[in-house]
Amino acid sequence: MVLVCGVLVLGAVVVVVLTRRGQTGIEVPVPTDLESFDPQITSYLKKYIQRAQSAPRDFDAQATLGMVYGANSVWREARACFVNAVLLRPDEPLARHHEAIATDELGEADTAFEMFGQIAREFPNFAPGRHRYGVGLLFRGRLEDAAAEFERVIALAPSAPEAYIGLGEVRLREGDLAASAGHLQKALQINPRLRRARHLLGSAYLKLGRTAEAKRHLSGSVGTGRLYLTDSWSQEQRQHALVLADQISRALGWLDAGQPAEGARILEEALSWHPGNVDVSNNLAIMYLQLGRTQEALNLLRDSLRQDDSRFETYINLAAVQMSTKELEKALATIDRAVALAPQVAQVHLTRGHILLQLGRTEEGIEALERASELDAENLSIHTELAQLYLRLRRYPEAKEHFRAVVDGDPSNFGALVRLCHACIQLGDLEEAEEILAELYELDPNHADIAKLQAGLRGRRGE
């Protein structure tokens, strides 16, 4: 699935000035150029503006309007709404927290930092505020203070990886490499796809002299973006994002969660406001294909090609529809057009590989999948697919290489570790197999696969 979206830029915003005058003087902020926004966003904003105007002292109405503004990058009005919410309920940390976030988004970083610090002092058990303050301390080089904040956040939210990353970075800067690696490993155990944690761990390994491990972790993108501990309002705010890129992303999230009908609902609404938009049509076609609405998917993609026949993603999706109807030769011709348009995009080669494999052209299919893996080396699903294919073909060196890539990216992947161990046994790499068995034993000492691998290892040794 390919997502290619333009970026919607809202017009300049002039805010209605709001000062803290007490609850009797609360005003509802409205952008003076509201009508110049994207029509779907304008219509959506008006609904929540009217709700707040009908009850300006309603805390929930002010807070929700602030979230709606923030979700669509209307940050001045968002901050004004959160100021209102603080006036109405000064003991609610979420209102204070989001006022500080909006202040930061408006470029007033130092003011926001002081606000997060105040929140951390007044609401010591509010983990998201403490985490933001810890990140600010780290950015300013106040390592000891930052470490204290991150340790407190870990105590409050031990299953969240963000504070482990922060503490790992603190220890890395202090030179406590073993402690740094431990915290970053913990973050990756919670979420193996955190690129920032992986890059920082690679840096720690490099300084520890663990060069081979460092190389694997540093091979991908740096992932320098900051990760903040989420909160209930941030989660709710995402549902109000109506910039097209955000709507498509949210729809694809529903697809990944196995609920394409929800994704289709979002994109059908978007398409009603943006008829003929190729990005929306392409992704809606994906939803329809998953729902078995093949003809509707085909109609959308044909319309997209009539509007713009230079979009490689349209050909990828059309080939997927043709594969679903077993028109494999037609699908191959379609995907070859995508390859010609975008030879450096992994997805076109991945789709081509799938078509060739279904056609029984195994070596060509493998070659296409390998090309996809080269172009997207961090994509563990491609490595997994290749590894399993090589295992079925009993091509153990190649299977081992790709299972190793999967395990490097996801160290707690039990199934990949089992198959990696099996490949090592078949290749006679018995010491490595022993090491992998020890890792498997730590993960699940009673798993039946461990006994099978131990038996295979003994047999290989002639015991």
Q: State the DSSP H helix or E strand holding residue 174, giving kind and residue range, or none if neither.
A: helix 162-174
**Rounded to whole angstroms, how far apart are CA atoms 75 and 83?**
12
pLDDT given for residue 15 in this prediction: 36
pLDDT given for residue 378 in this prediction: 82
pLDDT given for residue 212 in this prediction: 76
Rounded to the nearest 5°, which phi and psi values hold at 32?
-70, -20
Q: Closest by alpha carbon to 81, among 101, 107, 110, 108?
A: 101
CB atoms within 10 A of CB 408: 20
The answer to whether the beta carbons of residues 166 and 150 sit under 8 Å apart is yes
The answer to whether the beta carbons of residues 201 and 181 sit under 8 Å apart is yes
Query: Residue type at 96?
Result: R
pLDDT given for residue 14 in this prediction: 33
Q: How many residues does the chain have?
A: 463
Strands (E), 251-362: none
Query: Residue type at 451?
Result: A
pLDDT given for residue 225 in this prediction: 58
Domains plus CATH for the chain? 23-216 (1.25.40.10), 396-463 (1.25.40.10)
Q: Which residues of the chain fall below pLDDT 70?
A: 1-24, 219-226, 463
pLDDT given for residue 192 in this prediction: 82
Check: pTM over 0.75? Answer yes or no.
yes
Q: State the DSSP H helix or E strand holding residue 378, giving kind and residue range, or none if neither.
A: none
- Per-residue pLDDT tens digits for 1-51: 444 443 333 333 333 333 333 344 799 999 999 999 999 999 999 999 999
Give the CA distances from residue 338 to residues 2, 20, 205, in Å, rounded to whole numbers and listed in that order. 12, 57, 40
**Rounded to whole angstroms, how far apart are CA atoms 193 and 415?**
17
pLDDT given for residue 220 in this prediction: 59
CB atoms within 10 A of CB 384: 20
pLDDT given for residue 320 in this prediction: 96
pLDDT given for residue 249 in this prediction: 94
Q: Closest by alpha carbon to 389, among 379, 397, 399?
A: 399
Alpha-helical segments (H) within 175-259: 177-190, 195-208, 211-218, 232-238, 244-256
Q: Closest by alpha carbon to 374, among 413, 355, 416, 366?
A: 366
Sign of the C-alpha dihedral, residues 170, 172, 175, 178?
positive
Residues near 462 by beta carbon (within 8 Å), at least 6 away in sequence: none
